[in-house]
Structure 1
Amino acid sequence: MIVRRGSALCLREFRVSSSIKSSGQVSYELRGDVAVMTVSNAPVNALSLAIRQDLVARIKQFEEDEAAKVAVIVGEGKVFIAGADIREFKRPATEPHLPDVIDGIEACTKPVIAAIHGVALGGGLEVALGCHFRVGVKGAKVGLPEVHLGIIPGAGGTQRLPRLAGYEKALEMIPSGAPIGADAAKAAGILDDVSDEADAVAAGLAFARSVIDNGTPLRRCSELVAPAVDAQVFADAKAAVAKRARGQKSPVVCVEAIEVASQTSFADGMAKEREMFMELKNSAQHRALAHAFFADRALGKLPEIEGIAPRTLKSIGVIGGGTMGAGIATGALMNGLSVTLIERDDEALGRAKATIAKNVGGAVKKGKLSAEQEQRIFDKALSLSTDYASLSEVDLVVEAVFEDIDVKKQVFEKLDAVCKEGAVLATNTSYLDVNAIAAVTKRPQDVIGLHFFSPAHIMKLLEVVVADKTAPDVIATGFQLGKIMRKIAVRAGVCDGFIGNRILATYRAAADAIVVDGSTPFEVDDVMLEFGFPMGPYAVADLAGLDIGWATRKRKAPTRDPRERYFTFADRMCEQGWFGQKTSKGYYVYEDGARKGTPNPAVLDILTEERKEKQINAQNLSKEQILDRYMAAMVNEAAKVVEEGIALRPLDVDMTLIYGYGFPRWRGGPMQYADEIGLEKILSNIKAYAEEDGYFWQPAKLLEELVASGRSFADLNAESGNNSAAKKHENA
């Protein structure tokens, strides 16, 4: 443990605690009178226990090496240090703890320089802040992204950064978690220099030589005093951050920790930072965000495509230039693919091109594309045609026409006739049967569903829908397209609505029942806003267009089970031409093109009329009761989706709902949320609701089995990972 007396480090205590054997993951090499310590823990040099032990040992070695005047810490490979090893967060903390390691670096009596390339993030930047100097190379980035894991920097980041760069810069960087580039970091005082050298070691050695030659005194961040700021700065920052966070705690605590730095000594600030860090580390929000972090990385790890190479993917075709088709084309063009877009006539092609131009122009204004890239898109990458034969050489085609299976079948018959052998034929359907679409071709193995979400050039989610005969390399190609277009790709099986829309239909039905039974759409929306969704379900329906749901209900009407409670209030709204924002009226009224509406009182009259017709006695549910019913419906249907293999793992459901439907990431998705509150509670609620409506509230068998065996959705995720690893071992 490092002992502080006032603001100074007591080096003696550090030396006592640093008699640790090195594992060799931080090497030590003397280059003249400069010691180069290289951190090696592929792929991102995470600060594992072994790395921490080695850093302690190497700093001690440097202190005792009379030939070494300056030390340079560098990272091997593509990055400096990308942060802590968060896998260790699930285990008991083991010494040396990172704050103590960094204190030991800072306590060193000879200069230590961090030479940064790639990224220095989280604990990596905290290590650099513990060094006496920092030099970066071009392209390097630094940041403290711990907030995205539901925690705050816990190794001095909230205390050293404001002392070095000022409170305003710390308030900009830490609550947002956003990294900044090398030039911006130098301007802020975080980096002492940005080297023209491409190699971090060379940059570090050059800076070390200047320190030796100039006799530059040590500068410890812990001993700096940042210019004072008015307390109102922190109050304003806290209010702004809380509004953006929508219930997530860590961004607000980041502000509070930075404020602590302005009020106390460094030693007291470190103690308070650690207290705040540990409280968040033990919270449900951190567990949820850590789950989401690992789930992101597990999505594409599927046994069926392990070791399978995707097909060539350089040019694609898009059928249909409406909002969805133009969005898909835009996303592909912005990420370097050539696109041939097909429409029925020149007028439709003109509208499609105008939409793409507007989308691309918006990206240029936001700095996501250069003017040169924009010019290339329209000069070389985009082709427009009314002739399907123009698609004869493309590698993949995405059909994005009207959501009618007969129309889609006609499109696929044409594609089957004109596309080259091996071309992937994809449908962007939201609900329809991909197997039925594939069956009209002579190449069902080449057919896949690629369900983009609107606006397709912005929304992150891509459901890769695998039909019965889809070839493994076609699945791999779907995931490759997602990677190229910077999407979060989730594997889904074939059913009405796949993963996301199927679950959506169920929890929307539950919401409609809540409303008809006595609550209002506005109360339901308010509850879900408080839960952390960016919008409530009825505001979302207005945004999407109520006519879309109306068309789906009419499509399903012939097969509707007579036992189903069916409500007509939404249909009656559509019959009056209320389609939401597009008509300025839906559940809400949108005056003068406003994006946010006010409650439409006429909806309540329609609901009152339906209650009278169905002889329903209105009951006002509490906020907790509304939330419990809504979430029980979501979790129960999600469990059925996993049970049937539509989603391979619970984590696939979680990521689908987070990226496609606004489920708050800090809650981890519906399956993680269910684990957190207890599957027993979810199942008990479902059984209670079944006494009122036994048809809708049928418990998922998987949910019942998990409760009976004392297992969780997290256990299923772990088992799927173990099974995948076992299969890999068998194949090897």
Structure 2
Amino acid sequence: WSSTLLVSSNLNLTIPDSVFSFLNKHLRSFQSLLSPVIPFHLCAFPGADIQGFSSPKRQGIGLGPLVSLIERSEKPVVAAIEGIALGGGLEVALGCHYRIARMGLPEVTIGLLPGAEGTQRLPRLIGVPAALDLITTGKVHVLYLSLAVFPLGPRRLSLKPVPKLPNMEAFLSEALMKVKKQAQGCLAPELCFQAVKAATEKPFADGVRKERELFNILLTSGQAQALQYAFFAERAVQRWTTPTGASWKISDSISLLSLGLGTMGRGIVTSLVKANIPVVALEQDMEYLNTGRKAVMLLLEREAMKMGQDAQSLDFHNPARLQFTVDFDGLRDVDLVIEAVFENMALKKEIFKKLSGICKPGAFLCTNTSALNIDEIASATSHPQQVIGTHFFSPAHVMRLLEIIYGRHTSPAAIATAMQLAKAMKKVGVVVGNCFGFVREPNDVSICIGFLKILGFKIGPFRMSDLAGLDVGWRSRKGQGLTGASLPPGTPARQRHGRRYSPLPDLLCEKGRFGQKTGKGWYQYEKAGGRTARPDPWLHSFLSEYRDTHQIKTRFVDQEEILERCLFSLINEGFNILAEGIASGPEHLDVIYINGYGWPKHKGGPMFYASTVGLPRILAKLQKYSEAHPDVPELRPSAFLKKLVAAGSPPLKDLFRSPPAAHLQPRFPGSETQPVGACSLPAAGGSWHKGHSAFQR
């Protein structure tokens, strides 16, 4: 294959003149060779360099002319693509006359559309339905376009007509509704649709002009900036390293045990099996074990169907992949344990004391907790350096986020272990410090976010609470002494420790309304475990009685106030978390909210959103609402936010010494040095160990 052209590079919106001239020269030289085709070997072709999109000046020739140059070759050019052709890499392959490839156009995931004539060529190659699916979702599809026999008709895609459908207009109308529903307010999928639609209605050249027009609209949009920020932020938080450089690799010989087969434990086991990590699932007795086993098997059957596989290919019936047991002696030789019992400190300490006595000294002990003190749990063991928090989000086999919480004694090796486990499970691991609730929405402010679907939230927190189970939070609040039998007599129903408190979730739980699992919660469902949520007339009557009992007067609250009180209090808490060193940088918070709490990615996350709104405006509004509602501490402006505004509102990225490409090193409790991601402004100190306000999160 002396005539092979090897192309291996990141593409940009433009290419240097010298590269264009080189390719032009060599394509011409191939015309005189005896080979009937020009083989074009595209190696490691990931697509365009995203960082180049934001460059103020782009020098060179656009990628589109390169594609046209290849297509105009007199001899057929065959693209033999090694790996997966993505984005601009696929668009170059589309300029070739024949392709053998796996391909994808992920531009929509960063707020753009394929800008090198891909929206016009791909429908001509694979048809409108398949092209729309590829372009509007950004998914990678396996499309083997083999060329053992050259197809009839024009080999240049620009000369081929778009394959017609008998009901093209009806199909496009239905497809647009589907795209809008899935987009949830994101602009890029809809404009991708418009570009593909242009291919069905216009000549190739006119379609290309329409594509460029739509691409430029997206390129300068705030959504594209937010999505590209989210793209880099997610990669930044996963490039975390320990100060010692400790690492831990998942291997076939690793022995991993998941303790507890409740709702969360089942999801964790399912995630491990999907990731091809052998696991033993442990329960306290045969009754719970059999119930959990059936539930896990059902989940795995469903996941296999979603993945387009059968049970045999996922291999979860293989004892070497998945075992169930009630024998605690099986813990003696395991390398890592994930505990997933319900949120109760006494129970977790009892379990970890038992684990410490059975497991080998080097075993890592992970606790799945959403709020409990990691240090207190670790105190029940003889090896606290091996204990770390791994907060899976429900449902664990679906949600991508894994919040990793280090305590006072947690070793760097334990943190590295948890991060590598997250990577092996194809989850986004984010390291945070130890405080009550870790990084999450302050108290029950999230309830208000139910009104924020206007921003693109796919599911509101009322539905999310029903999905996760209202009893989970209820159990946690009882453990804190906020409700239940331990509440001192005479405690005001709507006040706790001088701050506003809503007992509504507690009252629902007292009536057995735990959400989907019981068929009733904030909504009602067709049956226990049902998924279709419907408004419940009983709840409206219940709320009316509650208002009468507590003499609460209704008032009209406009959309602006709802958005500001919910979002600005959330952002305010973010500044507190950054000042306390619980998170290493704003991108950590944004990644957590995007992947754990459903914040729409095209809005970039709460801290990115804050930078677009403006810190002075946020501070002014918080001061206004705090004066009106002094019993809501979440509305009290953060001292850190005040300092930032006084300093002229410098960009957040300039305050943290951890650019997207850098390794992040969160503060270790007891360390004398500031974390790499720490803010350069003075921070209000505090930690679990000083019992400060972070405990209230």
Q: Give the TM-score, by structure 1 length.
A: 0.82
The verdict on how the C-alpha distance between 1:573 and 1:718 changes in structure 2, with shifts beyond 3 A counting, is same
Structure 2 SS opposite 1:226: coil
Cα displacement string for residues 80-133 of structure 1 (whole angstroms, at most 9, x for unaligned residues): x11111110110332211112222222334433222120111111110111222
Partner of 2:401: 461
What are the ranges of 5 or more consecutive residues in structure 1 without an aligned counterpart?
1-30, 194-209, 512-523
Partner of 1:590: 525
Partner of 1:666: 602
Cα displacement string for residues 47-78 of structure 1 (whole angstroms, at most 9, x for unaligned residues): 475578524422233325664465332234xx
Which amino acid in the other structure matches residue 279 of structure 1?
I
Aligned counterpart for 2:59 among listed residues 94, 98, 101:
94
Which amino acid in the other structure matches residue 620 of structure 2?
S
The answer to whether structure 1 residue 61 and structure 2 residue 26 are counterparts is: yes
Aligned counterpart for 2:115 among listed residues 147, 154, 163:
154
Which amino acid in the other structure matches residue 8 of structure 2?
S
Partner of 1:13: none
After TM superposition, the structure 1 = structure 2 runs for residues 235-314 of structure 1, keeping only pairs within 5 Å, are 235-304=173-242, 307-310=245-248, 314=254
C-alpha contact 2:337 2:363 (8 A) present in aligned 1: yes
The verdict on how the C-alpha distance between 1:369 and 1:644 changes in structure 2, with shifts beyond 3 A counting, is farther
The verdict on how the C-alpha distance between 1:159 and 1:52 changes in structure 2, with shifts beyond 3 A counting, is farther
Q: Relative to structure 2, which stretch is displaced further, 49-58 or 467-476?
A: 49-58
After TM superposition, the structure 1 = structure 2 runs for residues 645-684 of structure 1, keeping only pairs within 5 Å, are 645-684=581-620
Tell me, in whole angstroms, the C-alpha distance in 2 between the residues paired with 1:110 and 1:228: 28
Cα shift at 1:476: 0.8
C-alpha contact 2:404 2:415 (8 A) present in aligned 1: yes
Tell me, in whole angstroms, the C-alpha distance in 1 between the residues paired with 2:635 and 2:299: 43
Cα shift at 1:339: 2.1
Partner of 1:551: 475
Partner of 2:141: 180
User: Could you tell me the percent identity over the aligned residues?
Assistant: 38
Which amino acid in the other structure matches residue 650 of structure 1?
P
Which amino acid in the other structure matches residue 178 of structure 1?
K
The verdict on how the C-alpha distance between 1:236 and 1:361 changes in structure 2, with shifts beyond 3 A counting, is closer
C-alpha contact 1:162 1:226 (8 A) present in aligned 2: yes
Cα shift at 1:431: 0.9
After TM superposition, the structure 1 = structure 2 runs for residues 44-193 of structure 1, keeping only pairs within 5 Å, are 45-47=10-12, 53-64=18-29, 67-68=32-33, 70-76=37-43, 79=44, 81-92=45-56, 93-134=58-99, 136=100, 140-183=101-144, 186=145, 192=147
C-alpha contact 1:111 1:218 (8 A) present in aligned 2: no
Cα shift at 1:428: 0.7
Tell me, in whole angstroms, the C-alpha distance in 2 between the residues paired with 1:38 and 1:375: 39
Which amino acid in the other structure matches residue 567 of structure 1?
S
Partner of 2:651: 712
Partner of 1:331: 271
Cα shift at 1:573: 2.6
Which amino acid in the other structure matches residue 333 of structure 2?
E
Cα displacement string for residues 592-619 of structure 1 (whole angstroms, at most 9, x for unaligned residues): 4552333233434444444445544322
The verdict on how the C-alpha distance between 1:52 and 1:487 changes in structure 2, with shifts beyond 3 A counting, is farther
Cα shift at 1:434: 0.5
Tell me, in whole angstroms, the C-alpha distance in 2 between the residues paired with 1:654 and 1:383: 37
C-alpha contact 1:653 1:669 (8 A) present in aligned 2: yes
- Which is richer in helix? 1
Q: Which has the higher contact order (CA 8 A, sep 6+)?
A: 2
After TM superposition, the structure 1 = structure 2 runs for residues 306-705 of structure 1, keeping only pairs within 5 Å, are 307-310=245-248, 314-367=254-307, 369-373=309-313, 375=315, 377-500=317-440, 503=441, 505-508=443-446, 511=448, 525=450, 527-557=451-481, 562-592=497-527, 594-694=530-630, 695-705=633-643
The verdict on how the C-alpha distance between 1:537 and 1:333 changes in structure 2, with shifts beyond 3 A counting, is closer
Structure 2 SS opposite 1:696: helix
The verdict on how the C-alpha distance between 1:590 and 1:89 changes in structure 2, with shifts beyond 3 A counting, is same
Cα shift at 1:396: 0.3
Tell me, in whole angstroms, the C-alpha distance in 1 between the residues paired with 2:297 and 2:539: 38
Cα shift at 1:705: 2.8
Structure 1 SS opposite 2:80: strand
Tell me, in whole angstroms, the C-alpha distance in 1 between the residues paired with 2:314 and 2:241: 39
**Number of residue-to-residue matches in the alignment:** 645
Cα displacement string for residues 212-240 of structure 1 (whole angstroms, at most 9, x for unaligned residues): xx9x9972211111233432222221111
Tell me, in whole angstroms, the C-alpha distance in 1 between the residues paired with 2:66 and 2:497: 67
Tell me, in whole angstroms, the C-alpha distance in 1 between the residues paired with 2:305 and 2:399: 18
Which amino acid in the other structure matches residue 712 of structure 1?
P
Tell me, in whole angstroms, the C-alpha distance in 1 between the residues paired with 2:81 and 2:244: 34
Q: Relative to structure 2, which stretch is displaced further, 118-127 or 65-74?
A: 65-74
Q: Relative to structure 2, which stretch is displaced further, 364-373 or 308-317?
A: 364-373
Structure 2 SS opposite 1:588: coil
Which amino acid in the other structure matches residue 268 of structure 1?
D
Tell me, in whole angstroms, the C-alpha distance in 2 between the residues paired with 1:52 and 1:288: 31
Structure 1 SS opposite 2:634: coil
Partner of 1:520: none
C-alpha contact 1:56 1:101 (8 A) present in aligned 2: no
Cα shift at 1:416: 0.9
C-alpha contact 1:706 1:712 (8 A) present in aligned 2: no
Q: Relative to structure 2, which stretch is displaced further, 603-612 or 469-478?
A: 603-612
Q: Give the TM-score, by structure 2 length.
A: 0.86
Q: Considering only aligned residues, what root-mean-square deviation do their CA atoms show, in Å? A: 2.8
C-alpha contact 2:260 2:340 (8 A) present in aligned 1: yes
What are the ranges of 5 or more consecutive residues in structure 2 without an aligned counterpart?
488-494, 666-674, 677-697
Cα displacement string for residues 124-160 of structure 1 (whole angstroms, at most 9, x for unaligned residues): 11101112222x2xxx411212111111111101111
Which amino acid in the other structure matches residue 120 of structure 2?
Q
Structure 1 SS opposite 2:399: coil
Tell me, in whole angstroms, the C-alpha distance in 2 between the residues paired with 1:453 and 1:311: 23
Cα shift at 1:260: 1.0
Tell me, in whole angstroms, the C-alpha distance in 1 between the residues paired with 2:79 and 2:321: 43
Tell me, in whole angstroms, the C-alpha distance in 2 between the residues paired with 1:383 and 1:344: 15
C-alpha contact 1:640 1:700 (8 A) present in aligned 2: yes
Q: Relative to structure 2, which stretch is displaced further, 368-377 or 146-155?
A: 368-377
The verdict on how the C-alpha distance between 1:686 and 1:68 changes in structure 2, with shifts beyond 3 A counting, is farther
Which amino acid in the other structure matches residue 59 of structure 1?
N
